[in-house]
Homo-oligomer: A and B are copies of this chain.
Amino acid sequence: MPFTQRSEETRNAILAAARRRFADDGYERATIRAIAADAGIDPSMVMRYYGSKEGLFAAAVDVVLGLPDLRGLPAGRRGEVLVRHFLTLWEGDRASGVLTVLLRSAVTNEAAAERMRTIFATQVGAVIGPAADDGPTRAALIASQLLGVALCRYVLRLPEIAALDADALVASVAPTVQHYLGDPLDSAG
């Protein structure tokens, strides 16, 4: 029952194929049969190692964002650092596809949505700073802008957003995040 090292290669192949399929097709259209075919093994192997399609999904999106600690930075540059880190994360995600999996699936699958909520509640909320009582609201506003960028750039592929190079996108979006980080929330920034 506790799987040995002998099958590790197979299990990793399943995970990699699952991430690609989930990312490309979303939870519902990604089939275990197709994932197994990509991994070059039998569909029943997926069941043996991950129990069910949901179990496979949970294993495929087991991830941490690894957000930077903003407290050491000059206040004026935190927005830029946060946006750049977020974009770098997504650019690097093209190989594994974990983040795309999460966002795509969270839209149709309630379990994935719950996972995304807790990720942002814990990780983003913690980085923003536990100080002010409107911290959670600020974190959520930042999430709305960053997720909106990810949605338009990596999922919907809106040409104008997808075509921008990372530097220009950081320069455009950083002031917004900077505003959500510190300015009074109803000011005309």
How would residues 172 to 187 of chain A score, 1 for a CB under 8 Å from any chain B CB and 0 otherwise? 1111101110000111
B143 and A113 within 8 A (CB) = no
Among residues of B, the one whose C-beta sits closest to the C-beta of A108 is B26
The answer to the question of A157 belonging to the interface, with a C-beta cut-off of 8 Å to chain B, is yes
Cα A153 to Cα B117 with chains together (Å): 11
Contacts of A136 in B (CB 8 A): 160
Contacts of A149 in B (CB 8 A): 144, 148
Copy total for this chain: 2
Cα A152 to Cα B139 with chains together (Å): 12
A171 and B185 within 8 A (CB) = yes
Interface residues of A in 25-41 (CB under 8 A from B): 25-26, 28-29
A137 and B164 within 8 A (CB) = yes
The answer to the question of A74 belonging to the interface, with a C-beta cut-off of 8 Å to chain B, is no
4 nearest A-B residue pairs (beta carbon): A148-B148, A140-B160, A26-B108, A28-B28
A sample of 16 cross-chain residue pairs with beta-carbon separation below 8 angstroms, ordered by A number, consists of A26-B26, A26-B108, A103-B107, A107-B156, A113-B157, A116-B156, A117-B158, A136-B160, A140-B158, A140-B161, A144-B151, A144-B161, A146-B148, A168-B185, A171-B185, A175-B179
